[in-house]
């Protein structure tokens, strides 16, 4: 292709975003619908953050179950 891959991906993403916005605004009637849509988006973004892989591992900690340990 004549255009770089990043430019093609950007154009496809923008076209998809415009289509999604057009579809959503034709369905949403009042502020209540916008609140529900916002709640759904926050839940989806939260789920994506929760299931994403960690880039940096946490420190390895040892857990003891006895009552004599000092931690």
The string of pLDDT tens digits covering residues 41-50 is 899 989 988 8
Residue 32 domain flag: yes
Q: Tell me, what DSSP letter sits at residue 55?
A: S
Summary count for the chain: helices (H), strands (E): 2, 0
Q: Look at residue 16 in the predicted model and tell me its pLDDT.
A: 92
Split into its structural domains, the chain has a count of 1
Q: What is the mean pLDDT of the chain?
A: 82
Q: Look at residue 48 in the predicted model and tell me its pLDDT.
A: 85
Residue 64 domain flag: no
Residue 68 domain flag: no
The segments of the chain whose pLDDT lies below 50 read none
Gyration radius from the chain CA atoms? 23
State the number of CA atoms in the 13 A half-sphere of 13 facing the CB.
6
CA distances 52 to 44, 46, 47, 48, 49, Å, are 12, 10, 8, 6, 5
Contact 24, 37 (CB under 8 A): yes
């Amino acid at each position: 292709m004549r255009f770089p891959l990043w430019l093609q991906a950007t154009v496809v993403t923008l076209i998809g975003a415009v289509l999604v916005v057009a579809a959503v605004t034709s369905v949403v009637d009042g502020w209540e619908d916008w609140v529900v849509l916002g709640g759904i988006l926050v839940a989806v973004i939260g789920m994506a953050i929760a299931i994403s892989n960690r880039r940096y591992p946490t420190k390895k900690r040892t857990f003891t179950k006895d009552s004599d340990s000092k931690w």
